Amino acid sequence: MEKLGEREPSRPVSPIAAAPSLAVQFFLIPLTVVAVVVGIYGGFRMLVADERSPVEYLNDVQNGGRDRRWPAAYELSRLMSDPDVQAKSPDLAPALVSAFVDSEDDDPRIRRYLALAIGRLDPAPAAAVSTLLDALDDPDSETVISVIWALGALGDGTAVPEIVELFQSADAGVRKMVVYTLGGLPNDGAHTTLRAALDDPVSDVQWNAAVALARHGDDRGMTVLRRMLDREYVSRQVTASAALQDPATDVMISGLRAVAALGAASEAGDLRSPVEALASGDESLKVRQEAMLALEASPFGRSVAERQ
């Protein structure tokens, strides 16, 4: 269940190519990927005290011992968020794709982190998308989640049909990542899937669907967005974790950003009252600030600030 979060050399930026950075700012980042990355980070940094080159880490992935290979893959996924790394090592991108191919039937952790690293390539080798698509049937669901995130981060619309098919998965984490990823990719049938996801039995799949639809200018998720602005309701659906100390606030902020992205509350949605209530009295300063921004972006009439 963006991307799996998160994560560039100078070049013309199309709306599709810009989707990953927009998604990190705008969408609910699927908790599964966040938990995998953040949960392991502290322990891993205790094992690796020196800064090494990405080529050295890749060599460890391919030839290192059992206890060095997956940490090296993690470190590669972290380093690839820096565009200078790829610029200084032009042969690294195709080598990463090749290492991912060779990791089939290997330690799943290696495969997951290599997928995340590939998703951060810019530009990506021609074989990157097809290689990732071939991995969508991996038996490890966490690997599939990382692969879906990577495909979304690369921004190639040709991946949409195969990503859409995975919404049929029984794994809620996979469905959540599918919805998250489709929010940053062109339509090509994605809207039908996103609308269906509004009725998913898992609440954060619904939330990601409503936010993704708003990103595409579709207000059919208004009912779900209204629930996302209800702190009492959201608090019953989520629990704090090491990755997210205040998940209810994060959900509400995503809902408010979706309202702002739509530019207005539809008459049927009638979100003016809950947004104003959050702007004037929510317990979180971040939520109050985000609600004020939503009011400014929407023709709700005078904002709370103007009336005080």
- Say if residues 146 and 115 touch (Cβ distance below 8 Å): yes
Query: For the whole model, what pTM was predicted?
Result: 0.79
* Distance (Å, whole) CA 184 – CA 253: 18
The answer to whether residues 212 and 232 belong to one domain is no
Of 197, 218, 239, which closes a domain?
A: 218
The answer to whether residues 249 and 188 belong to one domain is no
Number of domains in the chain: 2
The answer to whether residues 184 and 273 belong to one domain is no
- Say if residues 144 and 4 touch (Cβ distance below 8 Å): no
* Distance (Å, whole) CA 28 – CA 2: 8
The answer to whether residues 157 and 241 belong to one domain is no
Non-local CB neighbours of 50 within 8 Å, separated by 6+ positions? none
- Say if residues 298 and 273 touch (Cβ distance below 8 Å): no
The answer to whether residues 113 and 21 belong to one domain is yes
Measured CA to CA in angstroms, residue 131 lies from 31, 99, 110, 118, 238 at distances of 25, 11, 15, 10, 35
Of 188, 218, 248, which closes a domain?
A: 218
The answer to whether residues 203 and 301 belong to one domain is no
The answer to whether residues 9 and 155 belong to one domain is yes
**Residue 37 sits in a domain of what CATH number?**
1.25.10.10
Q: At what angle do helices 285-297 and 247-262 cross, to 10 degrees?
A: 10
The residue segments making up the domain with residue 289 are 220-308
Of 170, 191, 218, which closes a domain?
A: 218
List the structure tokens of 112.
Answer: 């997951």
Q: What is the mean pLDDT of the chain?
A: 82
SS3 1: coil
Per-residue pLDDT in tens (0 to 9) along the chain, 308 residues = 343 334 333 333 333 334 344 444 445 555 455 555 555 554 455 444 457 889 999 999 999 988 899 999 999 999 998 989 888 888 999 999 999 999 999 999 999 999 999 999 999 999 999 999 999 999 999 999 999 999 999 999 999 999 999 999 999 999 999 999 998 888 766 789 999 999 999 999 999 999 999 988 888 999 999 999 999 999 999 876 655 678 899 999 999 999 988 875 444 357 888 999 999 999 999 999 999 998 887 664 443 344 44
What distance lies between CA 176 and its chain's CA centroid? Answer: 9
- Say if residues 28 and 210 touch (Cβ distance below 8 Å): no
The answer to whether residues 123 and 271 belong to one domain is no
The answer to whether residues 56 and 72 belong to one domain is yes
The answer to whether residues 250 and 286 belong to one domain is yes
- Say if residues 24 and 7 touch (Cβ distance below 8 Å): yes
How many Cα neighbours within 13 Å face the side chain of 213?
Answer: 22
The answer to whether residues 230 and 210 belong to one domain is no
